[in-house]
Amino acid sequence: MYVAFAGGVGGAKLAHGLSRILPPDRLTIAVNTGDDFDHLGYRICPDLDTVMYTLAGIANPETGWGIRDETWAFMDRQERDGGATWFRLGDKDLETHAARLAMLRDGRTLSAATAELSARHGIAHRIVPASDDPVRTHVATTDEGTLPFQDYFVRLHCAPEVLGFSFDGADAAAPAPALVDALDSRELEAVVLCPSNPYVSIGPILAIPEIRARLEKRTRPCVSVSPIVGGKALKGPAAKMMRELGLDPSAATVAEFYRGLVDGFVLDRTDAALEDDVRQFVPHVLIADTVMTSDDDRARLAGEVVAFAESLAG
């Protein structure tokens, strides 16, 4: 059993690759819920939906989030009525939010709602939220104070200068039961930290004490894939955040962030010269082509990651 921690578009791509090479009973994908929020009456879980739409093969290829060939009647109506339009909910996407809300209102957990939505999309692999309890990322900024994540990310386009992050509710949050089962299973083979933003995609998962403790005490390998290639984030604000936090925007900074939690680090070929720097923080390094432009790239990288993890299992 592999457990992949994922959030955002890069994470969803590798999770998809893993789902192409591992059967459903050998993969659990645990997804960041720090970006979740309530908007226009719905519970929006962007990272869960991005993973779900990506595995279902219906993700919007331009944005990475949302559904391809989307229509926008609901948003047009909002605009005409003077409602909030800064966070765009497409008509097809809305079906997910409405169904999730109904299930949560019926008292079902986010895990149960996610399992049901995944099944409706024909996904056989297990996608679980990191926790069924609310964990909400906030971004402390120099000029705008402390912002809820989506205000920072979408409304303000990640423009405010970042001072740090907090994950409200994480201290009291329990890992989702299916994630505990997977991490504690005798069948656990390895944990993979997908190429997601370390601070706001993987960070909120690691902020849940029972998850972090399990990684610290791991008996199976944990490998991570750098989301920073050539000093730049492939998507999103990770490199900008590093600069604003006074850190060097590089794969080595990601490795330092994961120090003590990770045995192996997958570094892009572009950054091969950083191998020794990375090794200061993570003992084993694999150099690979990590940029995933096609579905086959995803499966190929997933295969290399799994082989790397197997080599570390000894």
Contacts to ligand FO1 by CB under 6 A: 7-8, 35, 44, 46-47, 49, 65-66, 87-89, 93, 150, 153-154
* Residue placing its CB nearer to ligand FO1 in the complex, 110 or 252: 110
- Measured from the CB atom, is 60 or 224 closer to ligand FO1? 60
Q: How far apart are CA 121 and CA 106, in angstroms?
A: 21
Cβ closest to ligand FO1, residue 12 vs residue 306 = 12
Specify the residue, 8 or 203, whose C-beta has the smaller distance to ligand FO1.
8
Query: What DSSP string describes the chain?
Result: -EEEEE-HHHHHHHHHHHHHHS-GGGEEEEE--TT-EEETTEEE-HHHHHHHHHHHT-B-TTTSSSBTT---HHHHHHHHTT---SS---HHHHHHHHHHHHHHHTT--HHHHHHHHHHHTT--SEEEESBSS--EEEEEESSS-EEEHHIIIIISTT-SPEEEEEEETTTTPPBPHHHHHHHH-TT--EEEE-SS-IIIIIHHHHTSHHHHHHHHT-SS-EEEE-SEETTEESSSSHHHHHHHTT---SHHHHHHHTTTT-SEEEEEGGGGGGHHHHHTTSSEEEEE-----SHHHHHHHHHHHHHHHHHHH-
Based on CB atoms, which residue is closest to ligand FO1, 100 or 214?
Answer: 100
Least gap, CB of 272 to ligand FO1 (angstroms): 28
Min CB(8)–ligand FO1 separation in Å: 4
Instruction: Please say which residue, 5 or 308, places its beta carbon nearer to ligand FO1.
Output: 5
Which C-beta is closer to ligand FO1: that of 6 or that of 183? 6
Q: How far is the CB of 82 from ligand FO1 (least distance, A)?
A: 18
Smallest gap from Cβ 166 to ligand FO1, in A, equals: 16
Shortest Cβ 97–ligand FO1 spacing (Å): 8
CA atoms within 13 A on the CB side of 39: 23
How many CB atoms lie under 10 A from the CB of residue 178?
Answer: 20
User: And the tokens for 94?
Assistant: 């809305």
Closest approach, Cβ 50 to ligand FO1, in A, equals: 6
**How far, in Å, are 96, 106, 112, 213, 237 from residue 157 at the CA level?**
24, 35, 32, 34, 9
Provide the minimum distance between the beta carbon of 88 and ligand FO1 in the complex, in angstroms, as a whole number: 4
Q: Which is nearer to ligand FO1, 100 or 220 (CB)?
A: 100
